[in-house]
Amino acid sequence: MSTITLIWLAIGVLGTWLGAELLVRGSVRIALSLGIRPLVIGLTVVALGTSSPEAVVSLVAAAKGSGGIAVGNVFGSNIANIGLILGIVGLMHPVRVAWREVRLDTLMMVGATLVASGFAFADALNPVSGAVLLGLLVAALVYYIRGNHTPGGENPLEDEALGEQPSRPSLVVPVLLSVAGLGLLVVGAHLLVASAEEIARFYGVPEEVIGATMIAVGTSLPELAASVVAIVRGHHDLGVGSIVGSNQMNLLFVLGGVSMFGDVQVADSVKTSLIPITLAFTFALIPMMATGGRIRRAEAGLLLAGYAVFAATSYF
């Protein structure tokens, strides 16, 4: 392992965080300008943007015949999004959750998890199931875009954190901010994944474990960066929406796209470990979000501890 690998790792971290800052700023301003709730921006624009590293890594892996990395990355990223990211963010600051607003979105995430897990467990990841998953994604996006505008075009958010009043500013600057942020996120995540993969292979870690842990964490860092920045700036709905939406994107868009390449072989370790753990984290999230109006530090600590156990047992 060379020194340049560690340098690329550091550059990747810096690019990921800077990209998240720009993406959150631009996305909030787009929501303000178009009269769209920030939650919807989180579920769509931010989620798609932060899921792009998973898509790139998984699609490239599938095209090269590395199905273990592709499938492991998808389920491992969803585990990291809930256990690692919400765990870290919740320990930093209790996360406010408007359950009435996110209930259907969360249940849609649960449904996507069940459908995708069922296909994977039954060794049915193929172009047919891929088309089903992508079709569900299109339906979800149509629902979000058509059903979640603020009536009458009123601004849903008086953004005190940014010092803005309800208005219809130009979209040029926020779009440029979002595009620049997304670009930095993708490049930063790519550098992180490449350097982490080299480190993992240097220590002789198996392909499935690399996909489910090192690469999954690397490709989930944009979600972590975007969620931390959003919640620190007071946009809890944007932060929660980006995680819920990213998990849906991973399962429907990424796994659906990977399946379109042909039959995907699912390792026994994915069936006996990754899928059950993904379902456990997903279902554990529901009572945390549905009660008390927030994810408390104690609950976040449980999520993070659960992820630490998962990561440790994956290696040892």
In tens digits, the chain (316 residues) has pLDDT values of: 678 877 887 787 677 667 767 776 787 677 777 777 766 777 777 777 667 667 766 776 677 666 667 788 889 889 988 998 889 888 888 888 888 878 888 899 999 999 999 999 998 989 999 999 999 999 988 887 776 544 333 443 444 444 444 445 578 888 888 888 878 877 876 776 677 667 767 777 665 666 677 677 776 766 777 777 777 777 777 777 778 888 998 899 889 988 888 888 888 888 988 999 999 999 999 999 888 778 899 999 999 999 999 988 876 6
Q: Does the pTM of the predicted model rise above 0.85?
A: no
Concatenating the DSSP letter of every residue in the chain gives: --HHHHHHHHHHHHHHHHHHHHHHHHHHHHHHHHTB-HHHHIIIIIHHHHHHHHHHHHHHHHHTT-HHHHHHHHHHHHHIIIIIIIHHHHHHSPEE--HHHHHHHHHHHHHHHHHHHHHHHTT--SHHHHHHHHHHHHHHHHHHHHH-BPGGG--S---GGGT--S----SHHHHHHHHHHHHHHHHHHHHHHHHHHHHHHHTT--HHHIIIIIHHHHHHHHHHHHHHHHHHTT-HHHHHHHHHHHHHHIIIIIHHHHHTTS-----HHIIIIIHHHHHHHHHHHHHHHHSTTEE-HHHHHHHHHHHHHHHHHHH-
What per-residue confidence (pLDDT) applies to 196?
65
What per-residue confidence (pLDDT) applies to 149?
43
C-beta pairs of 306-315 under 8 Å, 24+ apart in sequence? 306/83, 306/87, 306/281, 307/79, 307/80, 307/83, 307/84, 307/87, 310/79, 310/83, 310/277, 311/213, 314/209, 314/212, 314/213, 314/273, 315/205, 315/209, 315/213
What per-residue confidence (pLDDT) applies to 165?
46
Q: Are the C-beta atoms of residues 184 and 22 closer than 8 Å to each other?
A: yes
What per-residue confidence (pLDDT) applies to 152?
38
Which tokens go with 74? 């998808």
What per-residue confidence (pLDDT) applies to 193?
64
Contacts of 308 (CB under 8 A, 6+ apart): none
For residue 146, CA distances in Å to 36, 141, 142, 143, 256 come to 10, 8, 6, 5, 23
CA–CA separation, 73 and 309 (whole Å): 18
For the chain, what is the largest distance between any 2 Cα atoms, rounded to a whole number of angstroms? 58
What per-residue confidence (pLDDT) applies to 150?
42
What per-residue confidence (pLDDT) applies to 111?
95
Q: So what CATH class is 38-149+206-315?
A: mainly alpha
